Amino acid sequence: MFSRTIEVEIQFGDCDPAGIVYYPNYFRFFDNATAGLFSAALGMPKRRWLEHYGIAGIPMVDTGARFLQPCSFGDRVEIRSTITDLGRSSFAVAHRLLNGGALAVEAHEKRVWAVRDATGGIKGAALPEDVRRALEPNDERA
């Protein structure tokens, strides 16, 4: 499935008093990586693909992580994100965060392609066929 790698420099504000990344910040990194993954696959920035497809977003319905080694202020890490499953309206993303080439965090997400309903709430909708094609296997286009 579609894959993309980004580099992130750990900032002072990402860390807790012990000097290591405060764990919720990893999920912020992964959220940004997923948005970037879609932007790369669709060839447009997030704001544009939200407008283009008329969707409310791609909210998370499940997530989790395994923390294998800490990361600290100043570390430059790689996040390798891959679409691992495409459902009718949902999709799964796996993230592997590497620090100095070593696996530091493994995480997963399940998200839904969401549209607004008549009351202003959100509901899942089928992934458009062109989005589905864009998320299929590639040679790491980004």
| 137 is a domain residue | no
How do residues 91-123 score in pLDDT, each as one tens digit?
999 999 999 999 999 999 999 999 999 999 999
- The predicted pLDDT at position 116 comes to 95
What pLDDT does residue 138 have? 60
Q: Is residue 5 predicted with pLDDT exceeding 80?
A: yes
pLDDT of 37 above 50: yes
What pLDDT is attached to residue 142? 45
pLDDT in tens, 43-98: 999 999 999 999 999 999 999 999 999 999 999 999 999 999 999 999 999 999 99
Confidence bin at 141 (pLDDT 50/70/90): very low
Beta bridge partners of 50: none
Asked whether residue 21 is assigned to any structural domain, the reply reads yes
- Is residue 45 a part of any domain in this protein? yes
In a domain, 93, yes or no: yes
Domain-located, residue 140: no
CATH code at position 25: 3.10.129.10
**Structural domain of 84:** 3-131
Q: Is residue 138 part of a domain?
A: no
Report pLDDT for 119: 95
pLDDT level of residue 1 (50, 70, 90 thresholds): confident
pTM of the model: 0.92
On the CB side of 83, how many CA atoms lie within 13 Å of its CA?
25
Number of domains making up the chain:
1
Residue 113 lies in a domain: yes
What does the alpha-carbon distance between residue 91 and residue 108 come to, in Å, rounded to a whole number? 11
Determine whether 71 is exposed, middle or buried from the number of CB atoms within 10 Å of its CB (0-12, 13-18, 19+): buried
Domain assignment present for 136: no
Q: What residues are labeled active site? A: 16
